[in-house]
């Protein structure tokens, strides 16, 4: 699974640096050391659609259309009082924040079990406590050293235990087959300021295939002038994917930065848009025209 993602990531990286040339499918395949036919199979295995169709989903027009669609739906939801747990891939997600006393304790007395697993977006480090998931990060490094350092910074006095057997069922549920997605509510246990937690709770209202801007998010939490502060809270999210900060883009539809890499963010958005467009139970599909964050358009051939 990681190998397929690496090919997708490398294709996006090549397109970014050669956008003006609009490389063909054959050129992209050659960069990956594959024949065009094999390259097509890699994309279809990973996302269920062709490379050209996938890249068409990562266009400025596509991102703007997704923003517009999501805005009207989410405006109505938040006006009606959207609450957690949020819904993600048919999973119920509940977010619990540490108390002021627990925040001050820095994780003293807490046991955090960690494990690295494959995912559609590279290596995934999962961190689990008795209260819920306290960390989920992605990395190209199999050791996930950066994610481990972030965990220790967030929970400096906790005891860390490497226990992939404990985290494997969660990884299978999050990234495995549809049959593995069934189960009880997923609990998150996070450490952050009141403002950060407010932003993270709001993010739980974003469904796969929905995008919002930083300004939209600020407005939904009742802080319309705080888009920059919202961006900081989004960037500090400790639980990737489940708290879907990758679904936040700029008002103009550009994908922007991402704590775990902008290319990974593009891949995640395209992956979700393909499935959202195809509908429940489908392998994915796509549509559109010119890429959002300097991702080049495929030339014919």
In the chain, domain spans = 1-58+258-301, 73-249
Question: Is residue 39 within 8 Å of residue 230, measured between CB atoms?
Answer: no
Report pLDDT for 77: 59
> In the prediction, which pLDDT does 209 show?
86
| Predicted pLDDT of residue 83 | 44
Gyration radius from the chain CA atoms: 19
Which 3 state secondary structure label does DSSP give 213?
Answer: strand
- Residue 11: Cβ-neighbour burial (10 angstroms; 0-12, 13-18, 19+): buried
**Per the residue annotation, which of 124, 134, 212, 245 is the catalytic one?**
245
| Number of alpha carbons in the 13 Å side-chain half-sphere of residue 246 | 24
| Ranges under pLDDT 50 in the chain | 82-91, 179-180, 282-301
Residue 245 annotated as catalytic: yes
Class of domain 73-249: mainly alpha
pLDDT in the model for residue 297: 40
- Give the pLDDT of residue 288: 23
Using DSSP's 3-state secondary structure scheme, residue 133 falls into strand
Let me know: does 248 contact 212? Beta carbons within 8 Å. yes
Q: How far apart are CA 227 and CA 107, in angstroms?
A: 30
């Amino acid at each position: 699974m990681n190998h397929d993602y690496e090919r997708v990531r490398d294709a996006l990286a090549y397109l970014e640096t050669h956008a003006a040339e609009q490389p063909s499918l054959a050129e992209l395949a050659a960069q990956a050391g594959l024949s065009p036919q094999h390259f097509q199979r890699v994309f279809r295995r990973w996302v269920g659609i062709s490379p050209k169709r996938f890249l068409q989903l990562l266009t400025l027009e596509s991102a703007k259309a997704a923003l517009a669609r999501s805005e009207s739906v989410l405006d109505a939801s938040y006006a009606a009082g959207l609450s957690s747990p949020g819904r993600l891939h048919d999973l119920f997600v509940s977010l619990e924040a540490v108390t002021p006393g627990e925040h001050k304790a820095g994780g003293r007395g807490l046991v955090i079990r960690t494990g690295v697993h494959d995912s559609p977006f590279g290596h995934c480090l999962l961190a689990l406590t008795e209260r819920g998931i306290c960390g989920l990060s992605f990395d190209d490094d199999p050791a996930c050293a950066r994610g481990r350092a972030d965990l220790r910074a967030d929970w400096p006095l906790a005891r860390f235990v490497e226990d992939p057997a404990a985290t494997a069922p969660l990884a299978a549920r999050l990234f495995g087959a549809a049959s593995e997605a069934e189960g009880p509510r997923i609990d998150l246990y996070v450490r952050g300021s009141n403002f950060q937690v407010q932003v993270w709770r709001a993010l739980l209202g974003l469904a796969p295939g929905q995008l919002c801007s930083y300004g939209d998010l600020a407005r939904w939490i009742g802080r319309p002038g705080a888009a920059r502060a919202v961006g900081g809270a989004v960037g500090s999210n400790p639980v990737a994917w489940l708290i879907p900060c990758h679904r936040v883009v700029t008002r103009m539809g550009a994908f922007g930065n991402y704590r775990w890499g902008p290319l990974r963010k593009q891949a995640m958005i395209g992956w979700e848009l393909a499935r959202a467009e195809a509908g429940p139970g489908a392998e994915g599909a796509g549509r559109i025209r010119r890429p959002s964050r300097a991702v080049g358009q495929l030339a014919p051939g």
